[in-house]
Copies of this chain bind each other. A is one copy, B any other.
Amino acid sequence: MKGEGRGRRRPSSRLGRSTADQVFVRGHDLADLIGKVNLGDFAFFELLGRLPEPRESVMFNALAVTLVEHGLTPSTIAARLTYFGAPEALQAAVAAGVLGMGDRFGGSIEQAARILQEAPSDGDPRENAREIVQGFKARKETVPGLGHPVHRPADPRTTRLFALAAENKFAGRHVKLMELIADEAGRAYGRDLPVNATGAIAAIASEMGLPWRITRGLAVMARAIGLVAHLQEEMEDPMAAGIWSRAEAEGSSETASERD
């Protein structure tokens, strides 16, 4: 058979398929889910292959909701500037915004989740936390998931998420370890380094069984919603041209124009 020269087997997706009168998602009839399952629960279902229990529903939706909106960020500004140049393609402006959810932003969740998921599950948790912090300090790297330039002394989202995690029985060893890491980092660096929202999300996502490799995807899917809202605002009340003008006036001498 052609195309099999590299010995690759036929691809197969478990996610979706359809027949003349039914659409299936992960084996469930979609018509049975529409109207019964909210968007966050459906995202959980897509990622974990089963519908969430009530406590999982509350927690997963809480994580996603926390990630939707952060105001004017590099990502939302990039989306607005792209829409300015390409108003024919809303999806391209959303994509431009999604592209900025990389190592610096969405990636900090992924890095924190990785640390937690790769930490030894035995041994003294405080000792594990201390070793993790020492490793970052020795490599002169920032510990992901800690500290915030604005929220002091605590990130209000962390406070809320950890309270919800406790109520819903997700305050397990990953959450505990994240808190110990913050504590040990505070000692090691000699300043307050509380768990920030990305650290809290990383810890709770780890409790919920999400593999660290996909946690960046949580930020991406949630932020896509926020980006659509920013573009709706941009349509009604544009700010891209103003951002451009200011950057250009300061960044180049005299004037310039892309128009032609």
Contact = CB atoms under 8 A, between A and B. Distances in A.
A224 to B, nearest CB: 4
A126 interface: no
A112 B217 CA distance: 30
A53 interface: no
Contacts of A3: 242, 245-250
A244 B2 CA distance: 12
A88 B66 contact: no
B256 A16 contact: yes
A16 B65 contact: no
Interface string A5-27: 11011111111111111110100
A183 to B, nearest CB: 18
A85 to B, nearest CB: 3
A235 interface: yes
Contact of A87 (B86, B103, B108, B196): B103
Contact of A100 (B73, B85, B90, B157): B85
Interface of A: 2-6, 8-23, 25, 30-31, 33-35, 37-43, 46-47, 57-58, 61-62, 64-66, 68-78, 81-82, 84-96, 98-108, 145, 147-152, 154-157, 159-161, 164, 196-199, 211, 213-214, 216-218, 220-222, 224-233, 235, 237, 239-260
